[in-house]
Structure 1
Amino acid sequence: MKSIVIERPDILTLDERPIPEPGPGEVRVKVRLAGICGSDSHIFRGHNPFARYPRVIGHEFLGVIDATGPGVDPERCGERVVVDPVISCGECYPCRQQRPNVCTSLAVLGVHRDGGFSEYAVVPAANAWVLPEHISDAYGVMTEPFTIAANVTGQVAPQPDDIALIYGAGPMGLTTLQVLKGVYQVSQVIVADFIDERLAMARACGADWVINNQETPLNTLLAERETRPTLIIDAACHPAILAEAAALASPAGRIVIMGFSSRPSEIAQQAITGKELTIYSSRLNARKFPVVIDWLTRGLIDPGKLVTHQFDYQQVTRAIELFETDQKQCCKVLLSFP
């Protein structure tokens, strides 16, 4: 089988590997479709602190189970599934708190162990979720990105009367926007970004107000409308955002940090305690695949508004380079496998 392997930073190869056999509690998935994420690019470029090389990347993928390991019902063969990349122990303190996404022995497919950018992938059977027939492959493969938004919103419990501000109109900002509007019916969602074309995508996804905050400071525009966000989501992940978000937030507001910047954020305690702000962080997803599959089934979210390009897997280098360089026209890129 062919596998997309990052041998070391900036070295990507298309390797011929033996087709793997599933072990106890595992299934083998014949991959049909996979999505490129920012973390795949970061591993490729050597910017992901959790990755170990060589690595088959890819944690957003869909396919059909074609083999089962010991202890797994053979009747599962033929199921079309999406795969949760989060593998946890189920026993440590975070797992007992229903937060397997920060398990003390966390393993993520495509990061800590080989992922789904391959013709076949072996995964835990419990991580393979069946998709209803009416959900297309192109929509189904977007389940994992929407679980990130499900994890965020599951923590902060959005309300219809919230005023939400999202920093960043990339894939994570846009999935969160769709969930706030389509699932939680939040009355006002504002999206800020430096790129007008991305803001147009946000408008198409339901944003009530889009702002190019490179042109005009957010505090000026929000003050003009006497708007104080009650919920702020940092999907742009720049260290300067936290201090600005604390200044913009309504008293008793909530702020969510989604990023992994290693650079420190400078903020005075008074900026937080003076308003009694609540600050959340969110990583990966905590068993949110059934939640998102339900949203897809009910038509509450529209992944098609995010998918802009699709390539054959053999064109992966071109696909990643497009994802990295064309932020105006490119949002979500999919790879198809035979």
Structure 2
Amino acid sequence: MKSVVIEQPGELVLAERPQPQPAPDEVRVRVTFASICGSDVHIWHGHNPFAQYPRVIGHEFFGVIDAVGADVDASRIGERVAVDPVVSCGHCYPCSVGRPNVCKTLQVIGVHRDGGFSEYAVAPAQNAHRLPATIPDKLASLVEPFTIAANITAFLKPQADDIALIYGAGPMGLTAIQVLKGVYGVRQVLVVDRLPERLALAQENGADRVFNNSEFPLAAQLEGVQPTLIIDAACHPAILAEAAALASPAARIGLLGFSGEPCSITQQALTSKELSLFTSRLNSNRFPQVIDWMEQGLIQPEKLVTHYFPLAEIARAMTLFEKDPRTCCKVILQMD
């Protein structure tokens, strides 16, 4: 089978590999579509602190179960499934309180173990979520990105009368817009980014107001508006301090991302307004929730997709995703 392998940082190859065989509690998925995430690019360049090499990358993927392990019901063969990449132990403290995404022995498919940029992939049977026929194959790999927004909003508990501010109109920011508007009915969603093309995408995905902070500070453009809910989907170290300064008293701030650079903020900036600060990593069993949202039409994943490529053009697809944020949002690989 053909698989996209990062042999070592900077070395991406489309390699021939033997088909994996499912372990007793696993299923094998014949992958049909997989989408590119920024973390895939980071693994390629050696910037992901969790990656282990060599690695078949890809944690956003969809396909059909074509084989099962000894402990899995054979009737699952033929199921259309989206695969949750979070593999946890199920018994450590985080797992026991419903936070398997920060399991003490966490493994992520496509990071710690081989992923879905391949003609076949294996995963724990419980991680393969059956999809209804109403979700088309070509969009099914986008369940996973929306689980990121589902996870952070579960902490933030959005209300219709919130004034929400999202930093960053990349894929994660756009999924957050859709979830805030389509699921929670938030009436005011503001988005800030430095690229006009991304701000146009934000509007297409439901943003009520957009701000370009490439030349003028956001604070001056807000004209005294104090957001009650803020999501940092851009992950620059300077954002947290600015978010705290702009936030309404009693606001909630949610952080996505893994910048290793330090940021500077005082306790006073947080406690003087009694701000609530939440962090979020991956997702904690949010696949059924997002699948339900898609089935109901509460979110529109098609609004994120700008390009499709065959697997053979992986290098071109990854380079476009990395280098051209003005015209590129979600890039989906087709295996067939």
Pairs within 5 Å for 1:64-213: 64-213=64-213
The SS at the match of 1:291 is: helix
Q: 2: CA distance between counterparts of 1:280 and 1:241?
A: 14
Partner of 2:270: 272
Q: 1: CA distance between counterparts of 2:215 and 2:303?
A: 26
Q: 2: CA distance between counterparts of 1:142 and 1:153?
A: 17
Partner of 2:291: 293
State the AA in 2 paired with 1:90. Answer: G
Q: 2: CA distance between counterparts of 1:46 and 1:121?
A: 23
Partner of 1:229: 227
Shift of 1:221: 1.2
Partner of 1:24: 24
Q: 2: CA distance between counterparts of 1:137 and 1:153?
A: 26
Partner of 1:244: 242
Off by >2 Å, runs of 4+ in structure 1: none
Q: 2: CA distance between counterparts of 1:141 and 1:243?
A: 34
Partner of 2:220: 220
Give CA deviations for 1:243-289 in whole Å, capped at 9, x if unaligned.
Answer: 00000000000111101000001001110010000100000000000
1:45 is the counterpart of 2:35: no
Shift of 1:303: 0.5
State the AA in 2 paired with 1:86. Answer: V
The SS at the match of 1:63 is: strand
Partner of 2:257: 259
State the AA in 1 paired with 2:138. Answer: A
Q: TM-score, normalised by structure 2?
A: 0.99
The SS at the match of 2:241 is: helix
Give CA deviations for 1:78-104 in whole Å, capped at 9, x if unaligned.
Answer: 000000000000100000110000000
The SS at the match of 1:294 is: helix
Q: 2: CA distance between counterparts of 1:57 and 1:251?
A: 42
The SS at the match of 1:207 is: coil
The SS at the match of 2:327 is: coil
The SS at the match of 1:39 is: helix
Q: 2: CA distance between counterparts of 1:259 and 1:84?
A: 18
Q: 1: CA distance between counterparts of 2:62 and 2:243?
A: 36
State the AA in 2 paired with 1:194. Answer: R
Q: 2: CA distance between counterparts of 1:209 and 1:138?
A: 30
Q: 2: CA distance between counterparts of 1:134 and 1:98?
A: 29
Shift of 1:215: 2.3
The SS at the match of 2:308 is: strand
Q: 2: CA distance between counterparts of 1:239 and 1:20?
A: 40
Q: 1: CA distance between counterparts of 2:39 and 2:138?
A: 20
State the AA in 2 paired with 1:173. Answer: G
Q: 2: CA distance between counterparts of 1:162 and 1:45?
A: 39
The SS at the match of 1:265 is: coil
The SS at the match of 1:142 is: helix
Give CA deviations for 1:17-41 in whole Å, capped at 9, x if unaligned.
Answer: 1111111110000000000000000
Partner of 2:57: 57
The SS at the match of 2:207 is: coil
Partner of 2:310: 312
Q: 1: CA distance between counterparts of 2:255 and 2:262?
A: 13
Q: 1: CA distance between counterparts of 2:118 and 2:111?
A: 14
Shift of 1:14: 1.1
Percent identical residues: 65
- In structure 2, runs of 5+ residues without a counterpart are none
Q: 2: CA distance between counterparts of 1:156 and 1:110?
A: 28
State the AA in 1 paired with 2:251. Answer: G
State the AA in 2 paired with 1:236. Answer: A
Q: 1: CA distance between counterparts of 2:145 and 2:138?
A: 12
Q: TM-score, normalised by structure 1?
A: 0.99
Q: 1: CA distance between counterparts of 2:182 and 2:303?
A: 13
The SS at the match of 2:295 is: helix
- In structure 1, runs of 5+ residues without a counterpart are none
Pairs within 5 Å for 1:2-13: 2-13=2-13
